[in-house]
């Protein structure tokens, strides 16, 4: 991609992200193009559909806020702390920016992004399981679902979500596993 095309794409994503943060995902594409100082034609050349643009916004946000959390957690020598960090900081990333959480759709948009981080998350979880700090039947999809549940609950309980996180972390302990989890019927690769 040419340098000017890369700049235009970056400007569009930045303008779209700011507009979505301010007005939600139904914001006018013309408004985004104007804020990015590009024509509507340039916007559509980079993003043929609204869904493509929303996916790029979410990808940009996850790269900025979630990817560093996973890198730090993967490097943490304490497996329990690493997994708790993922739960706490990934939840906070979306609690702090509800419009970004609204872009999580559980479909292809989210699945493509999630698939890039699944291996790192699986390694963090496997280390915690090997250390005996979390139950052996948890899966990476369970962890993603727990984050989704925490973010959703924060909309109802506000700043008390860390209390719910503490309950979840305690519930993930092998001591709390009185019965095996039922099998999952979910397809892999989604966040919600």
Could you read off the pLDDT tens digit of each residue along the chain, which spans 192 residues? 688 889 999 999 999 999 999 998 899 999 999 999 999 999 999 999 999 999 999 999 999 999 999 999 999 999 999 999 999 999 999 999 999 999 987 666 788 888 899 999 999 999 999 999 999 999 999 999 999 999 998 888 878 889 999 999 998 988 887 777 888 775 554 444
State both tokens at 102: 């609204």
Whether 84 and 25 share a structural domain: no
Question: Are 69 and 155 part of one and the same domain?
Answer: yes
Q: Check if the beta carbon of residue 70 is closer than 8 Å to that of residue 120.
A: yes
Distances (CA, A) of 125 to 19, 74, 77, 181, 190: 35, 10, 13, 16, 17
> Using the 8-state DSSP alphabet, how is residue 186 labeled?
P
CATH number, domain with residue 142 = 1.10.357
Residue ranges making up the domain that contains 21: 3-48
| pTM, entire model | 0.86
Give dist(CA 69, CA 9) in Å, integer: 25
């Amino acid at each position: 991609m040419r340098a000017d095309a890369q700049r235009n794409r970056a400007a569009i994503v930045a303008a779209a992200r700011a507009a979505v943060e301010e007005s939600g995902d139904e914001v006018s594409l013309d408004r985004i193009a104007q804020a990015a100082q590009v024509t509507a034609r340039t916007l559509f050349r980079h993003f043929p559909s609204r869904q493509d643009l929303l996916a790029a916004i979410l990808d940009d946000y996850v790269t900025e806020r979630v990817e560093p959390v996973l890198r730090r957690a993967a490097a943490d020598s304490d497996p329990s702390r690493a997994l708790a960090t993922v739960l706490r900081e990934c939840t906070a990333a979306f609690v702090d920016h509800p419009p970004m959480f609204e872009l999580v759709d559980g479909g292809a948009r989210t699945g493509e992004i999630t698939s890039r981080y699944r291996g790192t998350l699986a390694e963090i979880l496997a280390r915690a399981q090997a250390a005996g700090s979390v139950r052996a039947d948890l899966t990476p999809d369970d962890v993603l679902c727990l984050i989704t549940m925490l973010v959703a609950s924060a909309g109802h309980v506000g700043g008390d979500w860390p209390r719910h996180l503490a309950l979840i972390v305690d519930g993930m302990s092998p001591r709390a596993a009185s019965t095996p989890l039922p099998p999952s019927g979910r397809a892999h690769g989604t966040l919600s």
